[in-house]
Structure 1
């Protein structure tokens, strides 16, 4: 019995050292070596600091809209709604989002709306939208900013990230900041 207790204590101490000491230290080293030094990648704009990997709320017509958030874009409370696809409250909320999108995007039809624009993600904080989700918003953004659709599409192309296996995505925050900078620069030229 002494032998079993002794081996259990040694194993417990070894696991504590490995899992509570060495593994967290290794993660800290990797985090400090990554972009942002383990604190997240940020950008400063108009006197505020934004985390690039966290979705922001955009609801004005002059901006591209982010994916809806079940946690109201609160990074400290990341999570989904836990409502299933047949939940009546969830379906009502999705329909409200569809109706709102169609009001703000005349000419768009329901079947063309990418699901990500009316359904929240699992984290509630996805900062990216698909290329298709950006393209369906071009008319609204161009009209609200009094800019050609061609120019807005060019900006989408400039902010499009493509991976080898995944779909093309656009960081909504970075695209919207670029739109504001474009408007600022255009005003300086006048």
Structure 2
């Protein structure tokens, strides 16, 4: 019996060493050489301090900043671990809500958000990405339309000309990857950092 078990154990140990150690270490090393910034999490620094990642959204509530997509991520309730509380952009609990198109709670929330945004910019239709969450709940980008919709509010809060704020949006709009994949997008954190620089 030991003769039959020994090869199985050796194969298990060998495959564990190859697929569990050697392969991940090799891929990490290669990624670190070819894509060093991305391999380190695409971290964004300001004044020598890490303030975020280009890959994970952040919550901006102040009128002087562009707001990102809504996040449906949650975390355990500190008062009752059997329940959860909203925790926007919680990377440890990535995921969208379970609310579907027939959900009254979702429809009511979207209607309320649309009405609130209409007061901000009544002459422009509210872009859908400003009132819906992404599948991951961590999306760092919004559509160019979502950013342009917010220009009047941000310009007013910062006392900047709308044309200058609109120019910043256009400078930070990224096109489709290779001209084919994805949709045009604006990274909210990068845009807000540029806005801070322009306001100095």
Q: Which category of TM-score, normalised to the shorter sequence, fits these structures?
A: 0.7 to 0.9
Shift of 1:83: 1.8
Deviations 1:74-130 (A, max 9, x none): 22222211222212222222222222222233333xxx2222111111111111111
Worse-matched range after superposition: 13-22 or 77-86: 13-22
Q: Which residue does 1:39 correspond to in 2? A: 40
Structure 1 length-normalised TM: 0.82
Q: Greater share of helix residues, 1 or 2?
A: 1
Q: Please give the secondary structure, in 1, of the residue aligned with 2:199.
A: helix
Would the aligned equivalents of 1:64 and 1:134 in 2 still touch at CA under 8 Å?
A: yes
Matches within 5 A, 1:1-190: 8-33=8-33, 34-36=35-37, 38-45=39-46, 49-71=51-73, 72-108=88-124, 112-162=125-175, 163=177, 164-165=179-180, 166-184=182-200
Q: Secondary structure at the match of 1:50?
A: strand
Instruction: Show structure 1 runs of 5+ residues with no match.
Output: 185-190
1:37–1:139 CA distance, 2 compared to 1 (3 A): closer
d(CA) in 2 for partners of 1:30 and 1:95? 48
CA RMSD of aligned residues (A): 2.4
- Post-superposition offset of 1:2: 8.0
Deviation at 1:39, TM superposition (A): 2.8
Worse-matched range after superposition: 171-180 or 47-56 = 47-56
Deviation at 1:61, TM superposition (A): 2.1
**How has the CA–CA distance of structure 1 residues 157 and 37 changed in structure 2, closer, same or farther, with 3 Å as cutoff?**
closer
Distance, in Å, in 1 between the alignment partners of 2:99 and 2:3 is: 51
Contact 1:61 1:104 in 2 (8 A): no
Q: How far apart, CA to CA, are the structure 2 residues paired with 1:159 and 1:171?
A: 7
> Given the two structures, how large is their TM-score scaled by the length of structure 2?
0.78
5+ residue gaps, structure 2, are: 74-87
The Cα of 1:3 is off from its aligned counterpart by 8.0
Secondary structure in 2 matching 1:63: coil
Q: Which runs of 4+ in 1 moved over 6 A?
A: 1-4
CA distance in 1, matches of 2:165, 2:149: 12
Give secondary structure in 2 for the equivalent of 1:68: coil
